[in-house]
Structure 1
């Protein structure tokens, strides 16, 4: 089925990056600590959700030895703070990343039961985990979770998409057609996710023996090729409209998720040229440069310069504080390391599991 590609790891991740900006985004100063990390930093190594939150960046938890160690730390955090949604959601995401979506789904549901602003997100996450666990099938339980998410937030984009997928798989193509038509009207004309929704609309119309409201599409590409074509299409549009700051940052995120780190770095540098004091653009360029280096555990000097520029314009930027602090540790500059990591510790909410890792790092510095 055409839409099974959205529950595969790389595709979900790229779509997440492409859809950033369609929903309100969290405080960027803590965004680097919001998800599961992407590469190792000394202290070792720690699908991105369809349309919610930020993509994964460098994370202090990545400095713990491996994925099992990360999960163990998060499990301890959940045990000590079982009534806070943040630790539950962090552990659920880590389990999704570790290929354990069935376990993740249960944790997403626990987080959703606690209510709060992220309830609809947690419910849709739980549904997505169940779909992943069932190799793309929208089960009865997943369908119920989607309905719950929509009851909490009727305009929720991922939940509406999966609702259409559930209807299509349930043999209700006319309902899927209506759901996806409605979703399409709420997407900006240049949204990179539109081709996915449009493809679903055509498939639903064909199954319902109804005329498609959309013109015929070009031949369907293989899953990964389709995703890359979407990203390349964004790059082509930016070549014609090079003053689109948000577009360059979106392209940088998408290229990074595709592991095209050199191209991600170039895209972010275009954004930096347009907005030299944009911390997201600066940090994105620095991260892409680091990920593409021979040893991501030790960012190259060019990346460190960019991270320091981030701190010049946003002294509380969590990702930059961590990277510059760890660089100071390697250089033997304990005063700077304590200042950077201490400031970072003050910025991390009490319910975030990485707070413990940073506190332990500071204690280690005091003992050396």
Structure 2
């Protein structure tokens, strides 16, 4: 897929849908699947019909799909319409088949909801729930690092979604801020499952050309193909520190070697004692092992020291040896989340954690400052678009 998935970043409501940039294979196509409507269906207006949706505006365009904001005539809700063109020679991108097949089976409050699939001779359209923005845009609107409570709330939802798909033996394989969608209330949802895979039992090997470079773990950079859920945990750890610090933590490199050097400069260079089997990885070279001692994360990313238990959670996620990384389920009960109400752990999978009383986003510092300047500081300042 390469290191940059799309020439243009997904816009608000885009569902992470324009970040394909991936090859296609011939495929007969997806069969229509009916999804349960979020509200009562209007009689006489069917699922699976192009006439059931009104196109409002183009949101973004990728290599294989264009995404539009629309409205459903079935239930009068806003939707995001991801439209694939069916080329006679190329066929349908295999990632579209994979994404549709997986999302049919995933029903969770922190996974983007696939409402409907529409197939014609010329196009295949995925109808997603409409989301107002993504984490990348949210962080761009609030530079310098997010408010610690909001980091906590976003991270809890991210891990909650990850724990769910990992229990289903599914790997996302492309976690990054652009693929984490956020509603106007602060709900966070995993999106863009084009690279996701159902992990078979017994285990099989997978491609090492997954995950955008900045969020790719060192074992995969070294050519590992027998990874598991630890792949997503590394990416989530990178996103976590980025939310706290306000900038990507392993950024600005042009290839796998430079990316590894960036990681080793922080974590130190592992050896066979700390990472059994390291020398057997396909891309391992002795010259990559230079003398570098690990550093405390907070010494480089100073904002981690201001949030209780943040450095410890980040360190447990960003461990070079993949089997040493904490699981998503265990991370949910890490002390970092202790300020959140314990009721969050009892919320059903299909229900948002924001339904728990008093659990909501708090205004970011720049929102508070802007509201103070305008002279109308209020709860409405928590809106972020």
TM-score for the superposition, normalised by structure 2: 0.25
Structure with bigger helix share is 1
* TM-score of the pair, normalised by structure 1: 0.26
